Structure 1
Amino acid sequence: MVASVETEIEVAAPPEVVWKRLMDFGSYAAESWNPMLLRVEGEARLGSTLSVDVKQPEMSMMTFTPVVVTMDPMHEFAWNGKLFFPGLFDGEHRFKLVPSADGQHTTFFHSESFSGLLVYLFFSESMRANITKGFESMNEALKKRCESGNE
């Protein structure tokens, strides 16, 4: 079984600004701006392992160590995480930036696809709703951070 959560938000900033804010992992814990990704450590390069603290509404904080599977600067970044071992409960977390025609705005797509043996047991509509709320809260925080004009 595969389940997914997909969100998007329009940001009044060019992709370069959105990318810079998104990929500034040091600011996540230091500035506490992101209500969902509380901490991200590691190198944003293909094949590297990150350490990530995630907090979704109505759920406990989780720390996991996903592997970067997509790194296309200014366009797309994704990682794969797993519960215990691959194939049990896996998630591919993806961020995608699409510029407007004039290049001054960005559509920020934020999604995750879940697969594995335990998805059927664990992935409920309430879990989907909580994850969606978490993604949307991060999207709003990123939008605010990008549109504030502060470097």
Structure 2
Amino acid sequence: MSTSEISSSIHIAATPAEVWEVLADLPAYGQWNPFVREASGTLSVGERLAVTIASAGGRTMSFRPRVLVAEPGRELRWLGRVLVPGLLDGEHSFVLEPADLPDGSRGTRLTQAERFSGLLVRLAGRAIEVGDDFDAMNAALRDRVEAGATLGR
């Protein structure tokens, strides 16, 4: 079985709890998120979400991943599958860690990653090259969180 991994990290000038507040607000994704255009569901282990992504190339895809981990202020992880298990599976994660920012202040390091596995990984090629999309989402999340943190939400 083939695998492929992609990850993108960014520093955010806010606490992990403040970052989680925006990350967990699925209905608001359409207001700020350039990659995950729509998301709904309950962030509880075992629950299914409804997610629609739009790549920088304009392709959209909807799927219903199952939540694997939902630890407020720490980690969100889900597993999406194409048709049947083992064909093309994607385990998507967001990990929030307290971190020192470049200016010496405290903040959060967000790492967004996806591990693709399955028989179709090699054939999927560019369809699963979403590093630029992760970078764009991370930057938009940072901007939204930092704007809220500045306003003293």
TM-score (norm 1): 0.91
Counterpart Cα distance in 2 of 1:123 and 1:103: 40
Counterpart Cα distance in 2 of 1:95 and 1:56: 18
Matched, 1:110 2:85: no
The answer on whether the counterparts of 1:10 and 1:107 sit within 8 Å (CA) in structure 2 is yes
| Structure 1: gaps spanning 5 or more residues | none
| Structure 2: gaps spanning 5 or more residues | none
Deviations 1:39-92 (A, max 9, x none): 111000000000001011115110000000111111001000011111100100
Equivalenced residues, count: 146
Counterpart Cα distance in 2 of 1:86 and 1:57: 27
Which amino acid in the other structure matches residue 106 of structure 2? Q
Write the mapping of 1:1-151 to structure 2, written as runs, cut at 5 A: 1-29=2-30, 32-100=31-99, 104-124=106-126, 127-128=128-129, 131-148=130-147, 149-150=150-151, 151=153
Matched residue SS, 1:4: strand
Alpha-carbon deviation of 1:123?
Answer: 2.4
Alpha-carbon deviation of 1:104?
Answer: 3.4
Which amino acid in the other structure matches residue 14 of structure 1? T
The answer on whether the counterparts of 1:15 and 1:103 sit within 8 Å (CA) in structure 2 is no
- Identity, in percent, stands at 34
RMSD across aligned positions (CA): 1.6
* Structure 1 ranges of 4+ moved more than 3 A: 101-104
Counterpart Cα distance in 2 of 1:22 and 1:55: 17
